[in-house]
Amino acid sequence: MLKITVSGPPGSGTSTLVRGICKRTGWKSVNGGDVFRTHAKNVGLTVEEFSKLCREDLEVDRGLDESLKSLMREDSGPEVIESRLSGWWAKEISVQIPRLHISTSIEERGRRLAKRDGGTYEENLKRAMNRHKDDSHRYMELYGIDLADMTPYTHVIEADDLEEYEVLELALDILGVRE
């Protein structure tokens, strides 16, 4: 049964946070970014190319989002769902759980993406900016969602100046989970 959603832009640290939560609690998770990347790979596209396809064929994105909503409703589903819009979906379907957003500046995301994926800071900053622009446009067109709107989230963690373990401890406090 779903216990928390974790959202944030690519490079904000959501995947790292979810791994930490699951390690400490033994919970299972579904990563919307992994689902997105898997679908991109399965059709032979990069993430950026798949994002473009989703902009051109809105039904592709809607199908991915509907599968996440379905998982949220399942009693036997994962305890943690991580995706850009999981907090929005949890609020929409009235799931009363913490809806966490990890917030980071575009510059910090560029640094983190360079560390995670390789390449230069400048290349990754450009990737982050393009992805943000694409996603913002797509989600507004698909659902009327402004990614800058934090109202669906019960908690927003500003993570630019926080270490991974600090973000994890804040999330565990929100969940009321202690060792």
pLDDT recorded at residue 179: 61
Within a domain: 18: yes
Q: Please give the Cα distance from 75 to 146 (Å, whole number).
A: 30
Beta bridge partners of 81: 5, 30
Structural domain boundaries enclosing 170: 4-104+152-175
Q: Which CATH number is 61's domain given?
A: 3.40.50.300
Q: Is 33 exposed, middle or buried (0-12, 13-18, 19+ CB in 10 A)?
A: middle
Within a domain: 46: yes
Within a domain: 16: yes
pLDDT recorded at residue 162: 95
Within a domain: 81: yes
Within a domain: 129: no
179 residues of the chain, pLDDT tens digit each: 899 999 999 889 999 999 999 999 999 999 987 888 888 899 899 988 887 887 788 888 888 888 888 889 999 989 999 999 999 999 999 889 999 999 999 999 999 999 998 999 999 999 899 989 988 988 898 899 999 999 999 999 999 999 999 999 999 999 998 76
Within a domain: 111: no
Within a domain: 69: yes
As for how many domains the chain has, the answer is 1
DSSP, collapsed to helix, strand or coil, labels residue 66 as helix
Within a domain: 141: no
Q: Please give the Cα distance from 64 to 67 (Å, whole number).
A: 5
